[in-house]
Amino acid sequence: MISFDNSPTLYWIGGIFLFSSTALLSITPSLPHQRVKNDGIVWIAFLLQLVLLVYLRLPIIVFNEALNPDENLFIVGAMTLAESPLYWESVDGCTSGPFNFYIITVFCEIFDQPYDYISARIVGILLLSGSFFFSFLALRIIFNASIALLSIFPATAFMGLTRHWDFINFSSEHLPMFLLSIMLYLFVSIHKSNLPIQKTQVFTFGLMAGCVIFTKLQAIPIAFSLTLIGYWLIYQKQRNLELLTNALLLTIGGLIPIVILVLIGYQYNFLDKIWIFYIENNLAYGKEGHGLIHSVYASFSDPINFFIRATLVLSIILLIYNVVFKRQLKPTMLWSLMTVFILSTIASVYKTGFMFHHYLLFLIFPVVFLFAFFLRNVAEYSKSYIVIGFSTLATIYTIAQTSTILFTNYFISSDKPQRPLSISETGHQILKYSNPDESLVIWGDAGRLYLETKRTQGVRWSNSHWGMYSDSLQKNFQKEFILELKEKPFPIFVDAHPTKNTFMTRDKLGYETNKELKEYIDSKYQLIGEFDEQRVFVHKERLEEMNATK
């Protein structure tokens, strides 16, 4: 496998050449005398944009270390589901839905890939590329190929060059973004078509909306808003008997994922877990924040969040242009689509009242679509060079937001074995006292230990992040964690809370801070040592078995 040092000169030379070629080819359809577009050039230009995106991300993709604790959560959960495939029975991602885990499981099992950070990031970049693909198709249908290429290139350049941790790791935003981009493509395809509505399109539109629910509950306002305007679109297109048929198909498509998972939950008796640990936890999440309006206002001063500033500026320009100058007071279908898309996305991103920057990934495509509308309006009154100029300025601006120092690589993979993962001293202890088919339980956050040792998670949570929170969430989580821990004698228990250099320190969150957990561990397990500030406990029965075989 390829690897990168801190200054991969040949890689950057190739990147400069690929970036320049992609940029030049992307503006070609917008040049004068190119009004009759060459479809081959358009597709080559767009595919080069996707190649550029992947190429610029290569050092990150092959950097087989965690960039965010959530990556451990997803990969360990996916590995566990390969052995015990019922989500909410063997794995619980708390605020994240099951499909984010299953998609990694499917990828690793089909392509026989190890469960590690490289596999997760390959899945992430494939989903991101898919989101760009369907968004490009939608933009091309609404406008034309030249506008689509010029509006989407700044976004592909930014997502390729950014090195912000929350934008480059595999996150729970990747899959819902992909599903929402399919919904947008289907919507504009139906809207722009002069043919009768295709039933497969309507059904798929609803199915994608239903699937979003089980990727990230936070994305539901976007899917719900698009679904509502989808019903309106059907009403506008067909006011006859076909209206009822298509509305019913959309509804059935949306209900299928819900009905299937509810039936599975009922059959295997974990419906209550879905409600408590997915629905209630998500609704409670962020109640300690300052609320939506305050969060939006505060985010304008966030240097990382240029998305909301771009959204505001473009929205004001387009509103003034269409209302004041063109006097288009009656909203069109596309403007209604953009309005609900933007407002619902802002609500989803800021609902929690505080900001994790990976939420901002949801704002990428609203900004792209707004920019495309802006370029279309500019193209009506100016020469094509002005349109190209605005796209160039947008590209320069977005690249400036990446804080990337060119020709320097911070994700050095040449000085360590990439696959398999190296095993820490704690990992060696886990391997020493457990068997390959046995599970591991960790109190704290040390998901890498599961991946090093290929041990699946013994309880539904591979970390105890939810144990950090106060009030009923913390009590309920810790109660469930201890109940599952007591169900069978897991050979290894690890308390991963360190004594310093983190807000999750041992004195605040170590196993001894929970009286019931401390009593159980002290009675059933024996501390064999502390390695890298991770305390390893072995079940006393396992120690007796090992001593008997000596």
| pLDDT tens per residue, range 505-544 | 888 889 999 999 999 999 999 999 999 999 999 999 999 9
Q: Span 76-95, mean pLDDT?
A: 94
- d(CA 9, CA 15) in angstroms, rounded, equals 10
Please report which helix (H) or strand (E) contains residue 534, including its range: strand 534-539
Of the two residues 405 and 258, the one the predictor is more confident about is 258
What's the confidence (pLDDT) of residue 152? 97
Structure tokens at 388: 């190209």
Q: What is the pLDDT of residues 353-389, one digit of tens each?
A: 666 889 999 999 999 999 999 999 999 887 788 999 9
What is the percent of the chain with per-residue pLDDT over 70, rounded to a whole number?
95
Q: Span 143-147, mean pLDDT?
A: 93
For β-strands 440-443 and 525-531, DSSP reports them as: unpaired
Please report which helix (H) or strand (E) contains residue 364, including its range: helix 364-381
What's the confidence (pLDDT) of residue 36? 46
Chain centroid to Cα 131, Å, comes to 11
Q: Span 462-489, mean pLDDT?
A: 80
What are residue 443's DSSP bridge partners?
495
Q: Span 301-330, mean pLDDT?
A: 89
What's the confidence (pLDDT) of residue 281? 78
Tell me the angle at which helices 9-27 and 145-161 cross, rounded to the nearest 10 degrees. Answer: 160
- Burial code of 348-387, b = ≥16 C-beta within 10 A, e = fewer? bbbbbbebeebbbbbbbbbbbbbbbbbbbbbbeeeebeeb
Contact 286, 352 (CB under 8 A): yes
Q: Span 382-401, mean pLDDT?
A: 90
Please report which helix (H) or strand (E) contains residue 509, including its range: helix 506-509
Q: Is 289 helix (H, G, I), strand (E, B) or coil?
A: coil
Residue 37 scores a pLDDT above 70: no
Contact 113, 79 (CB under 8 A): no
Q: What is the pLDDT of residues 41-61, one digit of tens each?
A: 999 999 999 999 999 999 999
Amino acid occupying residue 220: I
For β-strands 534-539 and 492-495, DSSP reports them as: antiparallel
What's the confidence (pLDDT) of residue 408? 84
Q: Span 429-440, mean pLDDT?
A: 96
Reported as a pLDDT band with limits 50, 70 and 90, residue 34 is low
What's the confidence (pLDDT) of residue 306? 92
Reported as a pLDDT band with limits 50, 70 and 90, residue 478 is confident
**Preceding amide of 85 cis, omega within 30:** no
Q: Span 444-448, mean pLDDT?
A: 93
- pTM for the full model? 0.95
Q: What is the pLDDT of residues 91-131, one digit of tens each?
A: 998 889 999 999 999 999 999 999 999 999 999 999 999 99
Residues ≥6 apart with Cβ < 8 Å to 380: none
Contact 491, 542 (CB under 8 A): yes
Min mean pLDDT across 172-186, 286-300, 352-366 is at: 286-300
Q: Where are the domains of the chain?
A: 9-400, 425-548
Residue 437 scores a pLDDT above 80: yes
Q: What is the pLDDT of residues 304-314, one digit of tens each?
A: 899 999 999 99
Reported as a pLDDT band with limits 50, 70 and 90, residue 352 is confident
What's the confidence (pLDDT) of residue 416? 79
Q: How many CB atoms lie within 10 A of CB 394?
A: 24
Residue 470 scores a pLDDT above 70: no
Instruction: Specify the DSSP class assigned to residue 84.
Output: S
